[in-house]
Amino acid sequence: GQNIDQPTEMTATEGAIVQINCTYQTSGFNGLFWYQQHAGEAPTFLSYNVLDGLEEKGRFSSFLSRSKGYSYLLLKELQMKDSASYLCAVLDSNYQLIWGAGTKLIIKP
């Protein structure tokens, strides 16, 4: 079966750095997406990785290792507004998007 694992919840301090991990086991791989979803709102696109390595976009970076079936989202200089759920999603060989359950990130002052 297809499976995406990410921690259910994480807590971090304002101004700090946090890394949200995602591991996946899917039938094929055509890329991995990270989305941010604030409570009661729809997801917003953060990043897309299809090649190994780190992609940096401002305070957010996303890393991929295809051989390990592993990705992480790195958030720097955390702000209170970063409190949200972060969804990992993998595009499988049939170009179906397989969604993780999301990681709820709580930022404390």
10: left (phi over 0), alpha (psi -120 to 50) or beta: beta
CB of 74 to another protein, least distance (A): 19
Residues numbered 55-74 forming contacts with another protein, rule: CB under 8 A: none
Q: Which residue from 18, 24, 26, 33 is in contact with another protein, where contact means CB under 8 A?
A: 33
87 binds another protein, rule: CB under 8 A: yes
Single out the residue of 107, 7, 9 nearest to residue 59, CA to CA.
107
Residues 22/70, Cβ–Cβ less than 8 Å: yes
Interface residue list for another protein (CB under 8 A): 30-31, 33, 40-45, 48, 50, 87, 91, 95, 97, 99-102
